[in-house]
Chains A and B, each alone.
Chain A
Amino acid sequence: MNTVLENQSATTSAAAKTVLEVEGLKTYFFVRQGVVKAVDDISFSLKAGEKLAIVGESGCGKSMTALSILRLVPDPPGRIVAGSIRLDGRDLLKLSDAEMRRVRGNQISMIFQEPMTSLNPVWSIGIQISEAIMLHQDVSRHEAFDKAVEMLKLVKIPEPARRAREYPHQLSGGMRQRAMTAMALACNPHVLLADEPTTALDVTIQAQILDLILELQERMGTAVVLITHDLGVVAETAQRVIVMYGGKKVEEATVEEIFETPLHPYTQGLLAAVPHLAAMSGLDATLPTRTRLKEIPGIVPALVNLPKGCTFAPRCAHASDVCCNEFPPYEMKRPGHGVACWHADKLQGDQHA
């Protein structure tokens, strides 16, 4: 374990400066049925060039966290009610709308899940990318278009000069996601938010896009927040992982710690519930042919009228009285490994035994 921690501190060295710091972020939706606490007291920080993954199931608030950072929460009914989001020391929540527009796409940009709907069908992709460039840089239309072609080349689109004149529907899903990536990175942002960037793609294309994002991220020194539900993608791309459940952060650790010594029962359940590709994980011959998966009982909670106490308690095998009455505090259980669970110490003991 020690080596892991050392590795971790080596890669994201203490010298690397923090680019994004989210503190006590709360984004609530005020709807008929009550208050939906989509993001409830989320804090994390991101160093330059770091790769952070936010994992969770549908409705856990992971996408809302990203939208909150960009201040794109639909208002009404949503509103950021508390917290601060500091980008290079500047609190984004205190900026005017005009100032915020200069930040979006320039210092922070985002890649969405569905590249077809996030590109405008009536403009060629070259024009769309050059428009993004012209918003933030003082260049002529012609220079911007050249830069767009350059970006398309960077994301490995063959014949970039010709492709730049094509429209989104003429490109395949993978090509569109490449174009989206080119647009997002065109202004060399400090932070890239990628919201399920490969979920809509086929597995062979997904691998291409993930490789591309990682390669460019490394080359440009961009910090990445990867939002996903796919634990395989997390394991392959992230350095640090945040697990969200019911709008709250329940665990945060290095990727190795999360996969090897998860402390929150939800993280443990999630890892056990995923079928592993045995042949590729070196598990093959030892396993019986068809075993039952470990399931997490119950359903993913809707965020309206969440239960009192720990949001995971109704589905948790370890739940006790205290879990049902009070949400556990988020505490550091090991260096760099925090968890919000009343029984984390006990669970940690079990794992070592």
Chain B
Amino acid sequence: MPDGNTAAPASVPVLDVRDLKKHFPVRKGLLRKTTGHVYAVDGVSFSIERGQTLGLVGESGCGKSTVARAVIRLIEPTSGEVRILGRDILSLSKDEMRASRRQAQIIFQDPFSSLNPRMSAGEIVGEPLLVHNIGNSRERAERVAALFDRVGLRASQMNSLPHQFSGGQRQRIGIARALALDPQLIIGDEPVSALDVSIQAQVINLLMDLQEEKNLSYLFIAHDLAVVEHISHRVAVMYLGRIVEHAGKRALFSNPQHPYTEALLAAVPIPNPRIKRQKRLVQGDVPSPINPPPGCHFHTRCPYVTEQCRIEVPPLIEVAPDHWAACHLRQPAAVAVA
């Protein structure tokens, strides 16, 4: 797809999110009165440069999937600003939005429910082209065949139905569909979590190869820290709707600044029987996002909790060059130096 994408100058991030919020009302009773809100995403900001991968990690219910959907308006955000290639997409009308969906595509977690069981693999991959009226039927077929080839499927499989493919192959179909419109940004909502270990490696490699080839930007959402470390350039850690730490991957994994990141890393089982994990685990469960604890959301489980943490929300501050954390125990980098 040669045309259509306005090439942005290098300085404009492919995705720029400012103070994104999504609150779902909780309704009860006959009259569906709003009795509260789920603070699924509560003021999240980040940006992704061209050709870069931002890994977004967190446990279930932390709002990472809501972020994935809100930045491409599959869910309408409550407030905030989302710019894709510098363009504010939240101000677009429905029709304008449909047209600009070409720039950002999404890959889903479940390779079994993300494909329409009644459509052939070729139809699924070609559908975006049809929707945007790209090419005639012969050109579209050629394009689909090329996409099949690129993601490691045979063009002869184009007429097969999704159930005739294995999980990994179906995920490849999903990737081909996302690539069909030549987007600049691909959002992966746990794209490898449902796959077997040996297949997961194939898909991760494919995603990384494609990124290099097409200079794609990824927002890669996952709960598996090792996978995120492998694929990302930068990593953001979410807890109950907020980003608690955000840094380059090396800095974040080797020198975590937020107690939650630390706990998360300590909890990952290491596939090496000779290394015994330090037994410093956080206790308790993730609190409900309907009535999140006041102050720092993590204070109910934090081993270093202070009085201030229970009252005041810690801001996300730069604790080291390009290393941001939201914790009262950390000082801004400038102060720390002084």
Q: Interface residues, chain A, CB within 8 Å of chain B? A: 57-58, 172-175, 202-208, 210-211, 229-236, 255-256, 259, 269-271, 273-282, 284, 289-290, 292-297, 299-300, 302, 315
Contacts and interface: CB of A to CB of B under 8 A. Distances in A.
A277 B199 contact: no
B201 A204 contact: no
A111 to B, nearest CB: 17
B285 A275 contact: no
B226 A276 contact: yes
17 contacts: A173-B285, A202-B60, A203-B264, A203-B268, A204-B263, A205-B59, A210-B269, A211-B281, A229-B196, A259-B271, A274-B226, A275-B226, A277-B229, A281-B272, A281-B275, A290-B230, A292-B205
Given A175-B285, A281-B275, A299-B199, A204 B59 contact: yes
Range of interface residues on chain B? 35 or more
B59 A235 contact: no
A232 B269 contact: yes
B89 interface: no
Interface in B243-262: 250, 253-254
Contact of B223 (A57, A174, A202, A269): A202
- Contact residues of B: prevailing secondary structure: helix
B270 A270 contact: no
Nearest to B194: A58
Given A259-B274, A274-B271, A315-B198, 19 more contacts: A58-B196, A173-B285, A202-B59, A204-B263, A210-B269, A229-B196, A236-B276, A255-B273, A270-B198, A275-B227, A275-B229, A277-B268, A280-B253, A281-B270, A281-B275, A289-B250, A293-B201, A293-B230, A300-B168
Nearest to A266: B198
Contacts of A295: 198, 201-202, 205
A299 B203 CA distance: 12
Contacts of B283: 208
Nearest to A228: B269
A57 B230 contact: no
B161 interface: no
A208 B281 contact: yes
A94 to B, nearest CB: 36
Interface string B140-176: 0000000000000000000000000011110000000
B152 to A, nearest CB: 10
Contact of A207 (B169, B204, B230, B267): B267
A136 B273 CA distance: 37
A329 B79 CA distance: 64
B279 interface: yes
A267 to B, nearest CB: 11
Contacts of B229: 275, 277-279
A257 B276 CA distance: 16
Contacts of A203: 59, 223, 225, 264, 267-268
B197 A293 contact: no
Contacts of B205: 292-293, 295
B131 to A, nearest CB: 30
Given A207-B269, A235-B271, A274 B282 contact: no
Contact of B282 (A204, A210, A234, A273): A204
Nearest to A300: B196
Contacts of B198: 57, 269-270, 273, 295-296, 300, 315
A148 to B, nearest CB: 21
